[in-house]
Amino acid sequence: MSILLFVMLGVFIFMMFRRNKKTQQQQAELQSKFGPGVDVMTSFGLFGRIVDIDEAENKVTLELSPGNTATVHRQAVTKIVEPAAVPEAVAPAVPDDASSITGQEITAPETGTPAQPAETPDETPKRLNDEGKKDI
């Protein structure tokens, strides 16, 4: 019984050291990517761009906004911020004047289904009432 306890204690200690080693490797990999011009976030939520790194004193100078800088400890910088991908804007389907003459069907660009004509304020309550009667 005591052997089992020692084995479990050994496995627990092994897992602790393994996790610490993995965390240290990730931190070292992150700090190797640091350099002037990299956008980063600190552990306390401050965003900025690295201007200068002082290896001797473990300090990083961040530019928070044009002309405003802050000096933080190197370990306070915890994340490299990647620029967000901007989705391409979809141009709305605007019919030309000839589409009503040619009889071409106008489709919504998002779904590809035929676009519905705009209804008047008087038609909306009528349509909503009719939809309620169909379900019953």
Taking only the tens place, the pLDDT of each residue in 32-53 is: 778 888 899 998 989 999 999 9
Is 40 within 8 Å of 47 (Cβ atoms)? yes
Answer CATH for 35-82 from 1.20.58, 2.60.40, 2.30.30, 1.10.10: 2.30.30
Q: Over 80: is that where the pLDDT of 111 sits?
A: no
Is 46 within 8 Å of 72 (Cβ atoms)? yes
Q: What are phi and psi of 133, to 5 degrees?
A: -75, -30
- What is the spatial distance between Cα 102 and Cα 86, in angstroms, rounded to a whole number? 37
Q: Band of the pLDDT at 12, cuts 50, 70, 90?
A: very high
The domain segmentation of the chain, as residue ranges, is: 35-82
* Residue 26: per-residue pLDDT: 84
* Residue 102: per-residue pLDDT: 53
Total Cβ atoms within 10 A of residue 77: 22
Going edge to edge, which strands form the sheet with 47-54?
Answer: 68-73, 59-65, 47-54, 39-42, 77-80
* Residue 51: per-residue pLDDT: 92
Taking only the tens place, the pLDDT of each residue in 64-85 is: 998 899 999 988 888 888 876 6
Q: Band of the pLDDT at 126, cuts 50, 70, 90?
A: confident
Pairing assessment for the beta strands 47-54 and 39-42 based on DSSP bridges: antiparallel
C-alpha distances out from residue 24 to 28, 38, 93, Å: 6, 21, 53
Pairing assessment for the beta strands 47-54 and 68-73 based on DSSP bridges: unpaired
